């Protein structure tokens, strides 16, 4: 990992997440569930909003009266729903920006993953617009402040036939129809937000839109308790004959308002445009260098679709066979979506390093790090191992492992087919294999940890063969700040291996296998 603000931030996140791992458990760690939590909070806001709409009146005086009624007289259901509506919206802002900063820190926004980043930018503004239009409806002094400041800013664009702020000059100028319009906007904008959120997850497979049930229940429970303990405040009724001087501002959704008051409107619009353009342009400032997209070798592909199922980025699709071989389908790689993580290669049943006849080619391979080179790397890495308890480590480039003798760094550990582990042990290249992946809570390539676990547990094709002695295989999930733990676990593993009797099913490396040469970049380090 390169040094710099990103590396510092990433280590910071990793350390914080390790603490939360201990508190919640890796599978319920909220920092690894920010996207699903954002969706969950959206639905809380949507459901409570629908409930509040039952009691809400859209009139100049009726609006405030209805909110007062539901907040005071019916606090125990409608009032709690209003507080939930507000606090879930605020928490959504927190989750959204933490998600944004974390994805930047994890470097998961550039290269061929740009789409998810770009489509997230308008989500930010639609969250704000949804919140602002919501505050307007309450029609208390905060709503009046928001209405005045917003319309004055909008009027500075000069695109409206008559200044919208004129609606708020005096009480008699404001009509109930204006509230009907605002209700419409407060429904339409969140619906558009939902559409944008759906687009946001289109270029990933198995998108997580629901947090783990227990985490969801904890979050909802905490929001309910918080809503009862600290009901959302309601200001005085709006009075257009006065001007709000001191308002209880929501610093999550309305934090821009003091800035709007302090700067010229032109600077605000320029800032909004500049921020949006800069944020949208980040994936290219600078772009990420990625390996060439996975390539399909039809002679070795029977269209089994395991790579289609395992690809985390929806980059592989099944299409009708084109080469006349007696299979219904073949796979096709969308190079614009492929991040060259290699998970597809690890999923391919043809990816077996045991093949001795002819060149080692698999059904779907990485041009920059083919299976043949991976096998050669393993053979070369074994040369650096000596003594009892030799451990060959297949390590994730985004985890804790650094370069070391007997260690092969991969873009994702799920790139290594389970048969490679079998090959290393059965050929005597090492006494055991350690797979050192990303932190358990969150894989850099989304699904690499899950697929590796499932393959080793014989729950997902391709299985790790039953003949592979499990005491000779170690999996360690460790984030970038956990190098000492990783090294300690590797050392302990080596110690355990040293006490084991010699592996009885050893078959020496064939000359044709040994003749292969390692890649320059992927060679043993």
CA–CA separation, 90 vs 220, rounded Å?
Answer: 14
467 binds another protein per the rule CB under 8 A: no
Q: Estimate the crossing angle of helix 114-138 against helix 141-155, to 10 degrees.
A: 120
72 binds another protein per the rule CB under 8 A: no
Among 120, 190, 244, 411, binds another protein (CB under 8 A): 244
**Which residues fall within 8 angstroms of residue 33, CB to CB, at 6 or more apart?**
208, 211, 212, 215
What is the closest distance, in whole angstroms, from the C-beta atom of residue 268 to another protein in the complex?
16
Residue 522 DSSP SS3 = coil
Backbone φ, ψ for residue 82 (5° rounding): -65, -45
CA–CA separation, 438 vs 454, rounded Å?
Answer: 15
101 binds another protein per the rule CB under 8 A: no
Among 48, 58, 133, 219, binds another protein (CB under 8 A): 219
305 binds another protein per the rule CB under 8 A: no
Q: Which of 95, 98, 100, 86 is nearest to 49 (CA)?
A: 86
Q: Is the distance from CB of 363 to CB of 297 less than 8 angstroms?
A: yes
Binding region for another protein (CB under 8 A) out of 108-116, 159-167, 428-436, 498-506: 159-167
Q: Which of 276, 330, 280 is nearest to 303 (CA)?
A: 330
Q: Is the distance from CB of 485 to CB of 400 less than 8 angstroms?
A: yes
Backbone φ, ψ for residue 255 (5° rounding): -65, -20
Among 218, 237, 295, 305, binds another protein (CB under 8 A): 218
> How far is residue 156 CA from its own chain's centroid?
38
Choice between 217 and 498, CB closer to another protein: 217
Choice between 162 and 323, CB closer to another protein: 162
Positions in 386-445 near another protein (CB under 8 A): none
Q: Is the distance from CB of 448 to CB of 438 less than 8 angstroms?
A: yes
What is the closest distance, in whole angstroms, from the C-beta atom of residue 330 to another protein in the complex?
39
CA–CA separation, 208 vs 212, rounded Å?
Answer: 10
Among 233, 274, 281, 367, binds another protein (CB under 8 A): 233
What is the closest distance, in whole angstroms, from the C-beta atom of residue 450 to another protein in the complex?
17
81 binds another protein per the rule CB under 8 A: no
Q: Is the dihedral of CA 330, 335, 340, 343 positive or negative?
A: negative
Choice between 238 and 296, CB closer to another protein: 238
- Tokens 């939902």 correspond to 194
215 binds another protein per the rule CB under 8 A: yes
241 binds another protein per the rule CB under 8 A: yes
Positions in 18-37 near another protein (CB under 8 A): 20, 23-25, 28, 30
38 binds another protein per the rule CB under 8 A: no
Choice between 130 and 227, CB closer to another protein: 227
13 binds another protein per the rule CB under 8 A: no
Q: Which tokens in the block code for residue 49?
A: 């909003």
Q: Is the distance from CB of 247 to CB of 144 less than 8 angstroms?
A: no
262 binds another protein per the rule CB under 8 A: no
CA–CA separation, 14 vs 449, rounded Å?
Answer: 16
511 binds another protein per the rule CB under 8 A: no
230 binds another protein per the rule CB under 8 A: yes
264 binds another protein per the rule CB under 8 A: no
Among 61, 242, 505, 517, binds another protein (CB under 8 A): 242
Among 40, 56, 64, 87, binds another protein (CB under 8 A): 87
CA–CA separation, 347 vs 299, rounded Å?
Answer: 17
Choice between 216 and 518, CB closer to another protein: 216
What is the closest distance, in whole angstroms, from the C-beta atom of residue 39 to another protein in the complex?
16
- E strand or H helix at 433: strand 432-437
Q: Is the distance from CB of 207 to CB of 201 less than 8 angstroms?
A: yes
173 binds another protein per the rule CB under 8 A: yes
165 binds another protein per the rule CB under 8 A: yes
Q: Which tokens in the block code for residue 308?
A: 């289609």
Q: Estimate the crossing angle of helix 141-155 against helix 265-281, to 10 degrees.
A: 80
Binding region for another protein (CB under 8 A) out of 217-225, 354-362, 425-433, 481-489: 217-225
What is the closest distance, in whole angstroms, from the C-beta atom of residue 513 to another protein in the complex?
43
269 binds another protein per the rule CB under 8 A: no
| Site residue total, another protein (CB under 8 A) | 55
What is the closest distance, in whole angstroms, from the C-beta atom of residue 143 to another protein in the complex?
13
Among 9, 60, 94, 282, binds another protein (CB under 8 A): 94
211 binds another protein per the rule CB under 8 A: no
Q: Is the distance from CB of 89 to CB of 244 less than 8 angstroms?
A: no
Q: Which of 475, 476, 494, 495 is nearest to 484 (CA)?
A: 476
How big is the chain by its Cα radius of gyration, in Å?
29
Choice between 87 and 444, CB closer to another protein: 87
Q: Is the distance from CB of 279 to CB of 306 less than 8 angstroms?
A: no
Binding site residues, another protein, CB under 8 A: 20, 23-25, 28, 30, 83, 86-87, 90-91, 94, 145, 152, 155, 158, 161-163, 165-166, 169-170, 172-173, 214-215, 218-219, 221-223, 225-227, 229-230, 232-233, 240-252, 257-258, 261
């Amino acid at each position: 990992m390169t040094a710099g603000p990103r590396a510092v931030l990433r280590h910071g996140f990793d350390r914080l997440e390790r603490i939360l791992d201990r508190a919640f458990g890796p599978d319920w760690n909220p920092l690894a569930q920010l996207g699903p939590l954002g969706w969950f909070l959206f639905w809380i806001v949507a459901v409570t909003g629908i409930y509040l709409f039952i009691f809400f009146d859209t009139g100049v005086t009726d609006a405030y009266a209805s909110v007062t009624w539901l907040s005071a007289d019916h606090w125990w259901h409608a009032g709690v729903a209003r507080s939930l509506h507000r606090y879930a919206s605020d928490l959504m802002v927190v989750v959204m920006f933490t998600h944004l900063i974390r994805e930047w820190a994890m470097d998961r926004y550039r290269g061929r993953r740009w789409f998810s980043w770009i489509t997230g930018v308008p989500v930010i503004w639609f969250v704000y617009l949804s919140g602002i239009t919501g505050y307007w409806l309450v029609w208390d002094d905060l709503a009046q402040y928001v209405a005045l400041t917003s319309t004055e800013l909008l009027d500075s664009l000069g695109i409206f036939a008559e200044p919208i702020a004129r609606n708020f000059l005096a009480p008699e100028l404001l009509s109930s129809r204006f509230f009907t319009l605002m209700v419409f906007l407060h429904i339409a904008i969140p619906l558009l937000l939902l559409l944008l959120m759906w687009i946001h997850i289109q270029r990933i497979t198995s998108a997580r839109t629901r947090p783990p049930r227990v985490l969801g229940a904890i979050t909802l429970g905490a929001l309910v308790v918080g809503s009862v303990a600290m009901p959302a405040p309601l200001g005085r009724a709006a009075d257009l004959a006065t001007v709000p001087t001191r308002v209880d501002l929501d610093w999550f959704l309305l934090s821009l308002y003091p800035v709007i008051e302090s700067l010229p409107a032109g600077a605000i619009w320029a800032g909004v445009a500049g921020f949006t353009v800069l944020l949208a342009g980040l994936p290219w400032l600078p772009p990420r260098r990625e390996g060439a997209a996975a390539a399909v070798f039809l002679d070795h592909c029977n269209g089994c679709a395991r790579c289609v199922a395992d690809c985390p980025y929806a980059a592989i699709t099944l299409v009708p066979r084109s080469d006349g071989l007696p299979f219904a389908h073949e796979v096709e790689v969308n190079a614009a979506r492929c991040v060259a993580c290699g998970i597809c290669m690890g999923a391919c049943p043809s990816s077996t390093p045991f093949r001795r006849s002819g060149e080692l080619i698999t059904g779907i391979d990485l041009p920059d790090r083919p299976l043949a080179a991976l096998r050669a790397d393993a053979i070369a890495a074994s040369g650096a191992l000596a003594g009892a308890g030799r451990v060959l480590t297949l390590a994730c480039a985004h985890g804790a492992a650094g370069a070391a003798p007997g260690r092969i760094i991969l873009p994702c550990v799920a790139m290594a087919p389970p048969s490679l582990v079998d090959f290393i042990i059965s050929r005597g290249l090492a006494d055991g294999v350690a797979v050192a992946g990303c932190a358990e809570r969150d894989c850099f390539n989304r699904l690499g940890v899950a697929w590796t676990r499932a393959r080793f547990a014989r729950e997902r094709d391709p299985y790790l063969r039953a003949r592979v002695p499990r005491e000779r295989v170690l999996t360690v999930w460790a984030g970038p700040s956990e190098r000492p733990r990783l090294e300690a676990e590797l050392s302990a593993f080596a110690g355990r291996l040293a006490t084991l009797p010699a592996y009885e099913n050893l078959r020496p490396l064939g000359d044709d296998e040994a003749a292969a040469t390692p890649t320059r970049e992927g060679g043993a380090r």
